[in-house]
Amino acid sequence: MSEHQIHQYFKHETSDWSVLGFLAALWNRLIEKCNVITCLEAIVKHEKGCRRDKAQLLLNQYKQASMMTYCLKILRLRADLAGNESDNNNS
């Protein structure tokens, strides 16, 4: 039987687990290892044509996804706080 290695993300509390959180953790790790953003920025700055256009598109998508992830975290935090307040009011 093959041995499966559990990703570090799942060492967090189970209440913190989410598909988006897991994907964000994978993406952040990939970026750290490959320095993808720096490469894309260099292509945008120094090249022309299709390569520059595609690199700019990917950078824009990355920034949009990062903002969406940030907003989802804020909304989740607010929902958690609102849930805690209603729990305290019901006590």
Tens of pLDDT, residue by residue over 32-87, are: 767 888 899 999 999 999 999 999 999 999 888 878 887 888 888 888 877 766 66
Distances from the Cα of 17 to the Cαs of 23, 36, 68, in angstroms?
Answer: 11, 26, 17
pLDDT of residue 60: 92
**Mean pLDDT, residues 3-29 taken together:** 83
Q: What is the 3-state secondary structure (H, E, C) of the chain?
A: CCCCCCCHHHHCCHHHCCHHHHHHHHHHHHHHHHCHHHHHHHHHHHCCCHHHHHHHHHHHHHHHHHHHHHHHHHHHHHHHHHHHHHHHHCC
pLDDT band per the 50, 70, 90 thresholds, residue 1: very low
